[in-house]
Each structure stands twice: as structure tokens, then as C-alpha cells.
Amino acid sequence: MDRSGAKGGCSEKCQFLVNSYADLHYDVLNIARQEISMGYETLVALRDTAKTSDYVCANLTDAKTGKLIFDPYVIKDYGNMRVAVMGLLRDADFPATTSLVDTNFMRVTSTKDAANKYLTEVARKADAVILL
């Protein structure tokens, strides 16, 4: 697992990372600042093409629909253990005046609110919870 945030910011670089994460057998990755800086269309394309790794983020929403762009969490079975992995962006990294997020397409919602919304749910479904 990786909390992501690799430097680069271009779609070619990100596609390289997606392939690398697959080669490294990463199960779950959280979206971070660098991925967001690539823009909405690239994020959606990568989400839809990544076949071997799950991307999670519980507080990045589509500005038009209000729906999450990524699943807030995934649950993986490792032997006898069910592990929930939830991704969160630190909302303080994305103040209203930032140019990191194209607010025409994406919104970073409250980290605390997202955590509160999903933690109880995932705790019931899993033996362990990992926050990225």
C-alpha cells in the first residue's frame, strides 16, 4: 500500500506509476496532491483503466454531482484477516484560494467529516482499518 503523492504531475508520468504499482503488486493507493494536480479528466481515466490496484479517496468529490470520484475505501482479505483501507486528503492542503484543485470539476471536502462518515461503517466490516 502507498499513500501516493509521487512527483511529476503529467499524465504520462502517472500512467508510468500506475503500471509500476501494478508490477509491484500494490493493492491500494490513496489519491494525493500530485495526482489531483493532473486534473479531473486524467484522474477519471486512470481510475477507469487501473485494473490491478484500487485507488481510494473518501473526500474528493465531483463538483457537479457531489459524488465521490473514487471509492472511499476498499476491503481486502489477507488470509484470515479482513483489512479496510480508506484514503483521505488533508483538506488543509487545499485552501479555497489554491490552484491545485480545478474547482470547476473537483472539491476536497472535510477530512474529519469524511473520516467520521466512513470509519464506523468500515470498522464493522473489517478486522483492521488502515487510513492513508
Which element (helix H / strand E) includes 84?
A: strand 81-86
Q: Using one digit for the tens of pLDDT, what is the confidence trace for 27-55?
A: 898 988 878 887 888 888 778 877 778 99
Q: What is the pLDDT of residue 10?
A: 45
* Best CA proximity match to 117, nearest among 59, 55, 69, 30: 59
Per the model's pLDDT, the better-predicted residue between 95 and 88 turns out to be 88
Which position has the higher pLDDT, 43 or 129?
129
pLDDT-based confidence at 9, cuts 50/70/90?
A: very low
Total number of residues shown for the chain:
132
DSSP, collapsed to helix, strand or coil, labels residue 74 as strand
Q: Which fold has domain 11-131?
A: Purple Acid Phosphatase; chain A, domain 2 (3.60.21)
Residues paired with 54 in a beta bridge: 28
